[in-house]
Amino acid sequence: MKKLLLSSALFLFSIAVFAQTKKIADYSGKFKMEGAPFESLVVTVEGESLMADAPGVGKGEIFKTDQADTFKEPNNDALIVFKRNDAGVVVELVIQVQGSELIGKKEIADQSEFVGKFIFEEGAPIPSVNVLIKDGLLYGDTEQGGAELRPTNKKDIFDVIGYDGTAEFSRDSTGKVTVVILNVQGMSMKGNKN
């Protein structure tokens, strides 16, 4: 019964991931600026607010406009327009201020150490998860579907986007990633890296 429940949930999840609307967390990240008086712009979610922090300039809330992926920064009367790639992932922003456009490219942390196939213990509802990088983002794919694994503020712990779960990676004594614990639907599944 658990296997049927999880299989159904994973199938519905894979549909929900593709159908979900743009979420505020899509915009978070560090953007390396080109031609700006500051090196980077860090966009974070704090509660229900989207914040923009330019080192040396300051931090403040930015507000959604009626245009898609566009926010207003009231202190400098600027617009921040986020750009997405073909997969719908935010990869760039453009700050429109005082007749100028400043471009920032989203920095993507190296997450290759998490990539690999993790085999779950016998009796788990799914046999394995393949962790891979797609469009610069970490994903977990199973035979039932897949989801983005988005970093949290805790080392080696990722949110399973659209699935209300976590993927917690463990390391051996040399620091190499060897285990994942997938916590979803009230279940915890431990997988060893193959």
Please write the tens of the pLDDT for every residue from 23-49.
888 898 889 999 899 999 999 888 889
* CATH entry 1.10.1660.10 includes domain 109-193: no
When pLDDT is averaged across residues 139-163 and rounded to a whole number, the result is 88
Q: What is the CB-side half-sphere exposure of residue 44 using CA atoms within 13 A?
A: 11
When pLDDT is averaged across residues 155-162 and rounded to a whole number, the result is 89
pLDDT band at 191 (very low <50, low <70, confident <90, very high): very high
Q: What is the reported pLDDT for 12?
A: 36
When pLDDT is averaged across residues 169-173 and rounded to a whole number, the result is 95
When pLDDT is averaged across residues 102-115 and rounded to a whole number, the result is 89
Whether 92 and 83 have beta carbons less than 8 Å apart is answered as yes
CA distances from 165 to 58, 131, 184 (A): 34, 15, 5
Q: Could you tell me how far CA 169 lies from the centroid of its own chain?
A: 16
Output the CA angle 27-30-32, nearest 5 degrees: 120
The C-alpha atoms of residue 152 and residue 136 are separated, in whole angstroms, by 16
Whether pTM exceeds 0.75: no
Residues forming CATH 2.40.128.50 domain(s) in the chain? 24-106, 109-193
Looking at the chain, the whole-number percentage of residues with pLDDT higher than 90 is 58
Q: State the average pLDDT for the chain.
A: 85
Q: What is the reported pLDDT for 22?
A: 55
Burial of 70 (0-12, 13-18, 19+ CB in 10 A): middle
pLDDT band at 17 (very low <50, low <70, confident <90, very high): very low
Query: Is the pLDDT assigned to residue 122 strictly greater than 80?
Result: yes
Choose among 41, 62, 22, 44: nearest CA to 153.
44
Q: Which residue has the higher pLDDT, 4 or 142?
A: 142
When pLDDT is averaged across residues 50-67 and rounded to a whole number, the result is 92
* CATH entry 1.20.1510.10 includes domain 24-106: no
The C-alpha atoms of residue 32 and residue 34 are separated, in whole angstroms, by 7
| C-alpha radius of gyration, the chain, whole number | 19
